């Protein structure tokens, strides 16, 4: 099964797993401090995830970090939502920089170095479809720390953390931002400075934030970038950029 970007949604479906990142549950208190009363905001995100699980028939939910807005503790709102998600499906969380105190929530917690999901061996049957190939799986990380060696040997490195969005000016001159997918090739020379073994054909996929309120215009010079981008392991300047509905905003290979 090939990796599938869901239409008009910041989510990936791969081998019966729904993959999202940066839910930032429990943002209600932060919104309230700014005078915004939106007490059921996180519940709305939960209902959206529940609907997507049902529509895709996914058997796992993998959240690529920053499950909650509070950094150090597990707030009651997030705890309640995670409890409901655990009843719906198998829940796996890759630890992000906002995920302090996440232990004990009932989910499987993966260290920040991430893990590889979906590896499959090549069939030995000579009559198999010649288009089939071995799957090295997806390396799943949050993105605020170094990926594990195993993740760098996957087919794709899927990273959250960056909340990629682009500012767009419409025909009337008004500027707005929208979430985007960013897909970049590996820079073998730069990766080799940090990893002895890696897949030379690995591609980086920056997944948009599931929480629509945390997106920001993507800046490759941002001081808060994780080591993947700050050490230029991938060719972001030549990356392909897609809107959530699939329209390419930039494809250097076709320009």
Q: What CATH number is given to the structural domain containing 67?
A: 3.60.21
Query: What pLDDT does 251 receive?
Result: 65
Query: What pLDDT does 104 receive?
Result: 87
Q: Which domain holds residue 219?
A: 4-254
What is d(CA 212, CA 48) in angstroms, rounded to the nearest whole number?
12
Mapped onto helix, strand or coil, the DSSP state of residue 61 is strand
Query: What pLDDT does 33 receive?
Result: 75
Query: What pLDDT does 102 receive?
Result: 94
Query: What pLDDT does 123 receive?
Result: 58
CA distances from 29 to 5, 41, 74, 100, 213 (A): 31, 10, 13, 17, 14
**Structure-token match 């009559």, residue found:** 127
Closest to 233 (Cα-Cα) out of 116, 141, 95, 136: 141
**Structure-token match 């073994």, residue found:** 197
Mapped onto helix, strand or coil, the DSSP state of residue 55 is helix
What is d(CA 203, CA 186) in angstroms, rounded to the nearest whole number?
6
What is d(CA 140, CA 102) in angstroms, rounded to the nearest whole number?
18
Mark the ranges of the chain whose per-residue pLDDT is less than 50.
126-128, 220-221, 223
Query: What pLDDT does 223 receive?
Result: 47
DSSP state of 143: S
Query: What pLDDT does 126 receive?
Result: 47
Query: What pLDDT does 253 receive?
Result: 64
Mapped onto helix, strand or coil, the DSSP state of residue 128 is coil
DSSP state of 213: T
Which run of H or of E encompasses 146? Answer: none
Q: Tell me how many domains the chain contains.
A: 1
């Amino acid at each position: 099964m090939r990796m599938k970007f869901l239409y008009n949604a910041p989510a990936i479906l791969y081998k019966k797993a729904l993959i999202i990142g940066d839910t930032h549950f429990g943002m209600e208190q932060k919104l309230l401090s700014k005078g915004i009363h939106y007490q059921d905001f996180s519940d709305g995100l939960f209902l959206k995830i529940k609907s997507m699980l049902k529509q895709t028939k996914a058997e796992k939910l993998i959240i690529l970090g920053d499950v909650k807005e509070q950094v150090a503790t597990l707030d009651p709102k997030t705890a309640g939502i995670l409890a409901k998600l655990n009843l719906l499906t198998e829940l796996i969380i890759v630890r992000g920089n906002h995920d302090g105190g996440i232990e004990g929530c009932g989910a499987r917690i993966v260290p920040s170095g991430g893990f590889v999901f979906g590896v499959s061996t090549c069939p030995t049957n000579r009559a198999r479809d010649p288009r089939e190939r071995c799957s090295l799986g997806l390396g799943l990380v949050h993105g605020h720390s170094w990926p594990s060696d195993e993740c760098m040997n996957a087919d794709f490195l899927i990273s959250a953390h960056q909340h990629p969005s682009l500012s767009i000016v419409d025909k009337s001159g008004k500027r707005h931002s929208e979430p985007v997918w960013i897909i970049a090739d590996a820079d073998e020379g730069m990766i080799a400075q940090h990893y002895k073994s890696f897949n030379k054909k690995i591609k980086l996929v920056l997944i948009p934030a599931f929480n629509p309120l945390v997106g920001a215009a993507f800046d490759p010079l941002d001081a808060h970038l994780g080591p993947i981008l700050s050490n230029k392991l991938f060719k972001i300047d030549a990356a392909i950029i897609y809107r959530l509905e699939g329209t390419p905003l930039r494809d250097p290979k076709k320009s």
